[in-house]
Amino acid sequence: MSKNTSIQNQIVFITGASSGIGAACANIFASSGAKLILAARRRDRLEELAAKLGKEFNNEMHLLQMDVRDREQVESAISSLPPSWSDVDVLINNAGLSRGLDKLHEGSIQDWEEMIDTNIKGLLYMTRHIVPGMVSRGRGHVVNLGSIAGHQTYPGGNVYCGSKAAVRAITEGLKQDLLGTPVRVTSVDPGLVETEFSNVRFHGDSDRANKVYQGLTPLTPEDIADVVFFCVTRPAHVNISEILLVPTDQATATLVHRRS
Ligand code: NDP
Ligand code: 8X3
C-alpha cells in the first residue's frame, strides 16, 4: 500500500492566512506538525492566529506582512526568507477577493483591478517565485483556491468569475508545465463558504453580506481546509487536479435552497 504524504515538519506557505479559508488551513496544517509561513496584509490578525496556534500546537511559524499585488514586495519577501524557511514544500495560493456585484457596463474599474491584481497576478507572482525551488529540490505541491465561479458565470459576477476562470486555466497550465517533475498541482473550487468574503465583496455592508447565507447551510472554512489537507496528504504518485465542492443546499452558482 502507498504511503500518505506526511506533513510533519514540512514548510507550508499560506497566502491570505489572516481570515477564513487561509486561517482554517493554517489550523489543520499546524495540528499535523507543519512549519507555517503565514502571509497577509493584516499583520495583527496573523499575530493573533500565530499566538493561538503556537499555544495549541507548539509548531514553528514565520509571519509575512505582504500584499500579493505588489510584485516587488512578493519577490523581496520570498528571496529574503531565512534559509530554514526557504525550502517551501506546499504553497497554498489562497489570497483572493471579490469586489462588487455590478453589471459589467456599470462596474467599478477600481474593483476590477483589485480582483485581477489579487486573484490572478498575485497568484502568478507567488507561483513564479516559489515553484522553481520545488522543481530543483524535486518535491512540492501547489494548491490554488479557485471557485465554482471559475466554472459558471453568474449575473454581476463577470470580472470575479473571469478571475477564477483564469485561476482554473493557470492551474491546468501549471500542471502541464510541471509534467515530468514530482511537483503536484491542485485546484480546490468551493461554492458558498461563510467567511469575510461577502463582507469584502460588498465593501463592509454586513447586512447585504449576511443575506448571501440566509436560510441555507453554507460550507465552513474548515470544510475547505479538510479538502486541501486531504489533497496534500495523498501518496506522492496521486495528483488531485481539481475538486469542486458545494453546500448540500447549493446546486449551481445561482441555484440554492433557502428554508426562509
Ligand atoms: P476572506 O475574506 O475571509 O479571506 C481572504 C484572505 O485573503 C484574507 O486573509 C486577506 O487578508 C487575503 N488577501 C486579500 N487580498 C490580499 C492581498 N492583496 N495580499 C495578501 N492577502 C490578501 O475570504 P475567503 O477565506 O472566503 O477567501 C479565500 C479564497 O477562497 C479566495 O481566493 C476566494 O476567492 C476563495 N473562495 C471563497 C469562497 C467563499 O464563498 N468564501 C468560495 C470560493 C472561493 P488581508 O486582508 O489581511 O490581506
Ligand atoms: C466564491 C463563491 O459563488 O460567491 O467564489 O462566487 S461565489
What global pTM score does this model have? 0.98
| CA 180 to ligand 1 centroid distance, Å | 32
Q: How far is CA 106 from each of CA 99, 111, 157, 205, 254, rounded to the nearest angstrom? A: 13, 11, 12, 19, 21
**153, pLDDT greater than 90:** yes
pLDDT of residue 80: 97
Candidate of 47, 71, 97 to mutate for ligand 1, largest count of ligand atoms within 8 Å of Cβ: 97
Give, in degrees to the nearest 5, the angle at Cα 187 between 186 and 190: 140
Residue 1 scores a pLDDT above 80: no
Cβ atoms of 239 and 185 within 8 Å: the answer is yes
Catalytic residue chosen out of the listed positions 125, 154, 160, 213: 160
Helix axes 123-137, 158-177, angle to 10 degrees: 10
Residues 6+ apart with CB under 8 A from 51: none
pLDDT (tens digit, 9 = 90+) per residue, 14-70?
999 999 999 999 999 999 999 999 999 999 999 999 999 999 999 999 999 999 999
Q: What is the pLDDT of residues 215-230, one digit of tens each?
A: 999 999 999 999 999 9
154 band by pLDDT with thresholds 50, 70 and 90: very high
**What pLDDT, on the 0 to 100 scale, is given for residue 44?**
98
Q: Provide the pLDDT for residue 260.
A: 78
Share of the chain above pLDDT 70, in %: 100
pLDDT for 92: 99
Task: Please report how the helices 43-57 and 20-31 are oriented relative to each other, as an axis angle in degrees rounded to 10.
Answer: 20
* For the CA of 98, the nearest atom of ligand 1: 34
Half-sphere exposure of 245 (CA within 13 A, CB side): 17
What domains can be seen in the chain, in order of their start residue? 11-245 (3.40.50.720)
Catalytic residue at 160? yes
pLDDT-derived band at 152, boundaries 50, 70, 90? very high
Nearest to 188 by CA among 112, 253, 242, 235: 242
**What is the structure's pLDDT at 2?**
84
Instruction: Ligand 2: list residues with CB < 6 Å.
Output: 147-149, 157, 191-192, 253
> Is 8's pLDDT higher than 90?
yes
Strand 11-15 vs strand 35-40: parallel, antiparallel, or unpaired? parallel
pLDDT tens digits, one per residue of 186-219: 999 999 999 999 999 999 999 999 999 999 999 9
CA 149 / ligand 1 centre spacing (Å): 14
